[in-house]
Amino acid sequence: MEDIKYEIKKSRRRTVRIEINNDGVVILRVPMRTTLKQAREIVERNRGWIDKHMAVLQECRAKVNSLPPLTMEDIKRLADKAVEYIPPRVQHYASMLGVTYGRVTIRCQRTKWGSCSAKGNLSFNCLLMLTPPEVIDAIVVHELCHRLEMNHSERFYSHVLRVCPEYRKWNKWLKDNGNEIMMRCLNN
């Protein structure tokens, strides 16, 4: 059985999280007190999950390699479109939720679709413009709901679902298709 190569990222978190980034690197996010031996045991215990997701990533790569990569010009066009499209959606949903926000920034990110800072600044990935409008709305609502709850608790999701009842459907669409979109950006 082949060893799994992984990176350990320690932080103040209380839980363990295993990620596989678009480059195929396994990242183990663990609490500060986690020992190397414990980290190795966590990886081995989750070998099935890791192997399964590595296979999905390789399948995704094969699909992506059959598509033309996004050029810098393509990305700039997507960013320009996003600057026109996303801020009005933010304004619309912010008023529905009764929240305020700071700056709205559009970037081409390799791992995130959106984020909300503690100060209320929002950032969105220009690659969202390659998704259905419902996905964009779901991400906008998700980030704005962090203005009410800076976590992913049940209360947070109750806010999300109140405004975007089909959130889970569109979030699943993004989970199923998002890696392919982001990987097209990695190929340029």
Q: Which domains does the chain have, with CATH numbers?
A: 6-65 (no CATH), 72-186 (3.30.2010.10)
Confidence of residue 63 (pLDDT cuts 50, 70, 90): low
Quote the pLDDT of residue 65: 64
Task: Identify any residues that bridge with 11 across adjacent strands, giving them in sequence order.
Answer: 31
Report pLDDT digits (tens) over 3-37: 788 889 998 889 999 988 767 789 999 999 999 99
**Tens digits of residue pLDDT in 144-166:** 999 999 999 999 999 999 999 99
